[in-house]
Amino acid sequence: DAMVIQNPRYQVTQFGKPVTLSCSQTLNHNVMYWYQQKSSQAPKLLFHYYDKDFNNEADTPDNFQSRRPNTSFCFLDIRSPGLGDAAMYLCATSTLTGDSKKLFFGSGTQLSVL
Amino acid sequence: GQNIDQPTEMTATEGAIVQINCTYQTSGFNGLFWYQQHAGEAPTFLSYNVLDGLEEKGRFSSFLSRSKGYSYLLLKELQMKDSASYLCAVRGTGGYNKLIFGAGTRLAVHP
């Protein structure tokens, strides 16, 4: 089945140690998003790609970077994780054609920072 | 600014009907979505409204009034598995299909 896959499901890192989260999709969607969701809060958009064009949200910290080497894969790099970066990180995809253009989410990566 | 408000928590009884409200104030509007999210899992799509009125899909219905900046999600014949958070999200007019989410309403269904 076509889907959005995030690895790993759970990630533990140390304070200040770089970490990379990955996302892949078989939907061939143009747009890929990274959202951060802290406990009992709304998912917050960090950035998105339209094809290879990168779009950063104005309030996304510089500590967060992203790479999209091809249509299928997208990575979230946290250069120096702090305790406040512990959260669920959600990858999503969408197309800009069609009726609702709904977002398809991966299962998320729960990041813990020790 | 952008603001989406939902009640934080609701409780209901198995077999009953529950209505979850959402009000929004956004700089543009190009559709409203409802997603279901079980604890520790990703959101899954429930419904989409872009025009005023009611959209029905099985046990779930969603209503939109653009003039009032208001939507609700109606869940009928509640089941225990409906215990989850329900996220209201608005798509603005800024392009790239970006969604702004509310914090979600945590629904607990009791026997």
Percent of chain B with pLDDT over 90: 80
Q: Least CB-CB distance to B43: which of A31, A101, A105?
A: A105
B99: nearest Cα among A37, A8, A76, A66: A37
Confirm or reject contact between B41 and chain A (CB < 8 A). yes
Q: Least CB-CB distance to A101: which of B41, B97, B103?
A: B97
pLDDT at B26: 86
**Which range, of A15-19, A70-74, B20-24, B36-40, averages the lowest pLDDT?**
B36-40
How far is the C-alpha of B18 from the C-alpha of B96, rounded, in Å? 33
Confidence of residue B39 (pLDDT cuts 50, 70, 90): confident
pLDDT at A2: 61
From A45's Cα to the closest Cα of chain B, the distance in A is 8
- Amino acid of residue A62: D
Confidence of residue A23 (pLDDT cuts 50, 70, 90): very high
- Asked if pLDDT for residue B94 goes beyond 80, the answer is no
Q: Residues 49 to 78 of B: which have CB under 8 A from any A CB?
A: 50
Which chain B residue shows the shortest CA-CA distance from A90? B42
Tokens representing residue B63 in the block: 């209503």
How far is the C-alpha of A94 from the C-alpha of B35, rounded, in Å? 15
pLDDT at A99: 67
Fill in the DSSP letter of residue B76: -
A76: nearest Cα among A38, A113, A48, A42: A48
How far is the C-alpha of B55 from the C-alpha of A100, rounded, in Å? 13
How far is the C-alpha of A113 from the C-alpha of A85, rounded, in Å? 7
Q: Least CB-CB distance to B42: which of A33, A42, A108?
A: A108
Residues A66-86 have pLDDT tens digits of 999 999 999 999 999 999 999
B62: nearest Cα among B42, B82, B45, B85: B45
From A84's Cα to the closest Cα of chain B, the distance in A is 18
